[in-house]
Amino acid sequence: MPSTVYQSSSNFHVIPLKSDLRKDTLIGAEVAFNDNADGGDESKLSHRVLDVNDLTDSDISLLRQALFEHSVIVFRKQLGIDPNTLPALAAIWDDKVQSHHSGEISALTATNNILSKNNASRIPRAKEVTILGQGNFDGYEGVPKLRLRHVNHLEFHDEPLSQEELDQGYTRFYRFHCDAPLYEKLPGKVTILHALKVPEAPQQKIKFEDGQELELDAGATAFVSGARAFQLLTPEEQEFALNTIVQYAPRPYEWIQNCKATSDGLSIATTGLEKPVDELTPWDPEKVQAHPMVWKNPLFPDRPHLQILGMCAKSLITIDPKTKERSVIDDLAEVRRICHSFQKRSMAPSYIYAHAWRDGDLVVFHNQGVWHTITGQLGDVYDSETTDEAEIARREANKRLMWQCTMASGVAPEPFNPVLKAF
């Protein structure tokens, strides 16, 4: 197909990312409004933000196809979108979508609620939408005092970058994951991110074990295709992965609360720092989760996705395809070694798409088909008040404001290997 012919619908056309961005990732397309969208009424151009009520059947079909094919789709210039559009949009890709976010259910309307170290909050008029970022925002969306914090790599990785490396612009992948609480609630099919204010910071870079480097925008979100990751395994590893279920720890993010990440953001660096399971907040064995290692793509049944949340894995259960007997690996170091060895094949610039955010971007990604992570050092934590104009301007330039929405699904990710459905 010539590159100028795109898939299209009533209101949109899909443009795969250029090859220098797409590389070997299998990831990425832009979805643009047609010139004749809204009946070609130019006066409406500035109002072309997504509204679920405007979508035709052909639009919905195109958006489904685009997402499950390209894994990450980008709508530009969406400033002004209604935050309630995000949860409504999620239903396009999940006919079993639930009415709540896959994280905390309740909306946060109090002034200083802290969900975690990033001080994330929820939009009071759209309680399924989380506000994330960096910097101080007073009165934003009716929240009197937001003190958003981008995660600091120095407190995250087992072997942090040196000050010299930070000065040279190096950063790290923090935690490759899909958005999944892995306890009680099921992961959403998609996650939607929206950039309202992107920091004005110099480019940063990530160094890989073999010396290769990836240049990326400060605060870029990095994605790896689970489909490409599966292809990078040997036939024996693929066979193992297809027949294996990953058992996750109870309350896994509390379990690893004191642990530090490996330098590539794929795993936990050591063992022994996990909280004993009998010291966790009381948990119900029925709500602990296990998921297949390889997930099925809803529209491309021949495309297996390797989807492992390596940091939260506790044991591996492999089903013998002939005898149906189960064998269990529950030595934590070995579980992590296997998961890490599978996932690290993708740790090369050619397999990673790092989305360079622009104000107004709305990114939808196939949460059950890619792994993603934040990156970037976004400056200081501004606890002190200042009246210095240069300092105020510097803080303003460093600010970042994002929305995030990932709606829980009513069904678990489907195993690529149907044999695993019985386990």
Q: How far is the CB of 278 from Fe ion (least distance, A)?
A: 29
Stretch that binds Fe ion, among 179-187, 231-239, 315-323, 363-371 (CB under 5 A): 179-187
Contact 366, 67 (CB under 8 A): yes
Stretch that binds Fe ion, among 2-10, 175-183, 223-231, 280-288 (CB under 5 A): 175-183
Q: How far is the CB of 177 from Fe ion (least distance, A)?
A: 6
d(CA 338, CA 318): 13
Q: How far is the CB of 190 from Fe ion (least distance, A)?
A: 12
8-state DSSP, 332: H
Angle at 154 between CA 149 and CA 155, to 5 degrees: 70
Q: Is 336 helix (H, G, I), strand (E, B) or coil?
A: helix
d(CA 364, CA 67): 8
Q: Is 172 helix (H, G, I), strand (E, B) or coil?
A: coil
The smaller minimum CB distance to Fe ion, of residues 371 and 382, is found at 371
Q: How far is the CB of 367 from Fe ion (least distance, A)?
A: 8
Question: Residue 60's closest CA among 40, 81, 89, 97?
Answer: 89
Stretch that binds Fe ion, among 157-165, 172-180, 226-234, 326-334 (CB under 5 A): 172-180
The smaller minimum CB distance to Fe ion, of residues 141 and 179, is found at 179
- Does residue 274 bind Fe ion (CB under 5 A)? no
Q: Is 144 helix (H, G, I), strand (E, B) or coil?
A: strand
Q: How far is the CB of 208 from Fe ion (least distance, A)?
A: 22
Task: Look up residue 334 and give its two tokens.
Answer: 């070995």
d(CA 258, CA 95): 37
The smaller minimum CB distance to Fe ion, of residues 132 and 246, is found at 132
Q: How far is the CB of 47 from Fe ion (least distance, A)?
A: 30
Show contacts with Fe ion in window 114-143 (CB under 5 A).
Answer: none
Q: How far is the CB of 312 from Fe ion (least distance, A)?
A: 13
Count, residues near Fe ion per rule CB under 5 A: 1
Amino acid at position 249, single letter: A
Stretch that binds Fe ion, among 5-13, 54-62, 156-164, 174-182 (CB under 5 A): 174-182
d(CA 270, CA 344): 17
> Which of 30, 141, 179, 274 forms a contact with Fe ion (CB under 5 A)?
179
Residue nearest to Fe ion (CB): 179
Stretch that binds Fe ion, among 78-86, 178-186, 240-248, 316-324 (CB under 5 A): 178-186
Show contacts with Fe ion in window 313-342 (CB under 5 A).
Answer: none
d(CA 380, CA 356): 21
The smaller minimum CB distance to Fe ion, of residues 94 and 179, is found at 179
d(CA 203, CA 220): 10
The smaller minimum CB distance to Fe ion, of residues 103 and 199, is found at 103
CB-neighbour burial class of residue 202 (10 A; exposed 0-12, middle 13-18, buried 19+) = exposed
Binding site for Fe ion (CB under 5 A): 179
